[in-house]
Chains A and B, each alone.
Chain A
């Protein structure tokens, strides 16, 4: 009977199809993360300054990890301020992203009419422009002789715009907002676009004012999209060091990403870099799992 045999074969087919990808993820996603643990809880070769990983959990040595923790929370905590700064930058930048993205996404989803497709195309465009190119554009504009600097100076009649790229927290935060706000706008647009017009009409028919309809219908219904957008902007910001390097490059704006990057390729500091990776990973884990929970159902993909 072709029925039962092909029924069994079709059940075998799916694991076979999934196997190569699953093996790939096990080897190149799960294993590297374990290597980080082995390096953090391993030792450093005293002569070559190269990491001596401890592969087995019962051989783990907490010296390197404790060193980092001591310098985060301890009296000599010179890593602490960088972590606090990271949190402040990420919170401020994400809040600004919501404030900028919501009106734009709302307008595109609700009011844009025949311009909707055009605006959507322009909103998606930053995804296809390399992040480095977008930052390079701001380096050009914010140099001391850059167009933006000259415009600021001309408007305020004195050279107040100089030194924008020399360790200004405001420049770094604006750079982060500029870099990541597209990741907020698209999920927000998708969320707002999915709300049926009939729901709003019903609210209006039942006597809600425009503002009330927004506050009591649109805003609650778009909350999952806001959450998804905040996660999609916060998570990459947590590891971002390049925006900071290009737009500031000063120790005054060092963040967690910079701590990782500065030690990852320095001999003898790999354990330290790994410890920072672990700390950021622990912080990121809750939002990551939250994202997985909201998107596991493929009908709500990439929102």
Chain B
């Protein structure tokens, strides 16, 4: 089994090449956000001018870029705060409640997970513009759309965790005299901690990167988040400030995921090593 032939080396080379191809372009884009000139392709030395040095066009001083950044983070926080509790409760309910109705709801959640996003976004746009609802184009519409699109994430992650927990713990708690609500709150929820944490981080990171839904449901320039800014100006000779904006979002995503993962490792300490890796954290394994 340990004989390593040329096949092994070819596979290793393919993997390294893939990783370079997949990550280098982004690293180059981040690098040029620190460029000292207007160019996003020729390097003329390190500078922070596109972050805060330039008094007009840097992310810090360009009102439109700053608005986009703040709006993105606002969407991320609000949508996550709604999605996660809603999704965790839905997961618990769907997992334990037997019958046709919950089975249908489960299929709906999975369909929402794989429906091409453009279709859902157009459908939501049509609904918001033709039906009289409390939802408006802008923040409320965007949050509603994001929650709908992201809801399957906590449902899938929490149900995967529930599968490994089983039903015996809450049954034992109820047998010992706990009320059903107390059994869920004091027994199940703590055991679901890692899955809830993982979905919080993943939903937040996904929401701040979202483009399709937030673009259709944005009302005006003030509710256009960073992804839409990038889309609008990528082909219109932008300055490296656009790269700087994108790099800041990248940093926000990575920080959220790293912090979440560190906390996840802490919460799952003492479990089997293969059930607490990054793969398990993101629900892949």
Contacts and interface: CB of A to CB of B under 8 A. Distances in A.
A253 interface: no
A281 interface: yes
B11 A106 contact: yes
Interface stretch (B47-55, B57-65, B180-188): B180-188
Interface in B31-47: 32, 39-42
Nearest to A2: B177
Given A15-B93, A21-B86, A29-B120, A130 B227 contact: yes
Contacts of A187: 284
Contacts, number: 313
Interface stretch (A67-75, A134-142, A154-162, A215-223): A134-142
A299 B39 CA distance: 50
Contact of A182 (B22, B42, B123): B22
B136 interface: no
A160 B140 CA distance: 48
Interface stretch (A56-64, A76-84, A228-236): A228-236
Nearest to B26: A137
Interface in A30-55: 30-33, 35-36, 38-39, 51, 53
A32 B145 CA distance: 10
Given A36-B126, A129-B26, A280-B116, 5 more contacts: A130-B253, A136-B243, A231-B114, A291-B110, A298-B160
B163 A299 contact: yes
A122 B234 contact: no
B105 A130 contact: no
A103 to B, nearest CB: 5
Contacts of B145: 28
A191 B89 CA distance: 29
A245 B214 CA distance: 17
Contacts of A189: 279, 284
21 contacts: A9-B180, A14-B96, A15-B97, A16-B93, A18-B93, A21-B87, A21-B90, A21-B155, A28-B124, A35-B126, A111-B11, A125-B22, A128-B209, A130-B226, A140-B40, A140-B41, A146-B41, A239-B116, A274-B122, A284-B115, A295-B110
B70 interface: no
A41 to B, nearest CB: 13
Contact of A240 (B118, B131, B246): B118
Interface residues of A, number: 115
A173 interface: no
B108 to A, nearest CB: 5
B234 A132 contact: yes
Interface of A: 2-3, 6-7, 9-10, 13-22, 24-25, 28-33, 35-36, 38-39, 51, 53, 100, 103-104, 106-108, 111-112, 117, 119-141, 143, 145-147, 165, 178, 181-182, 186-187, 189-190, 193-194, 197, 201, 204, 210, 231-232, 235-236, 238-242, 245-246, 249, 257, 260-261, 264-265, 270, 273-274, 277, 280-281, 284, 287-288, 291-292, 295-296, 298-299, 301-303
B interface, how many residues as a size bin? 35 or more
B168 interface: no
Contacts of A204: 1
B75 interface: no
Contacts of A104: 14-15, 18
A140 B32 contact: yes
Given A25-B108, A120-B278, A302-B156, A133 B231 contact: no
A18 B89 contact: yes
Contacts of B119: 239, 260, 277, 280-281, 284
Contacts of A235: 114-116
A128 B253 contact: yes
Given A111-B8, A120-B277, A147-B28, A249 B235 contact: yes
| B90, B114, B279 — most chain A CB neighbours (10 Å) | B114
B284 A190 contact: yes
Nearest to A278: B119
Given A136-B29, A186-B284, A210-B7, A178 B22 contact: yes
B78 interface: no
B127 A32 contact: yes
Shortest 9 CB-CB distances between A and B: which pairs? Answer: A18-B93, A21-B90, A239-B118, A239-B116, A14-B97, A32-B123, A17-B93, A137-B25, A130-B209
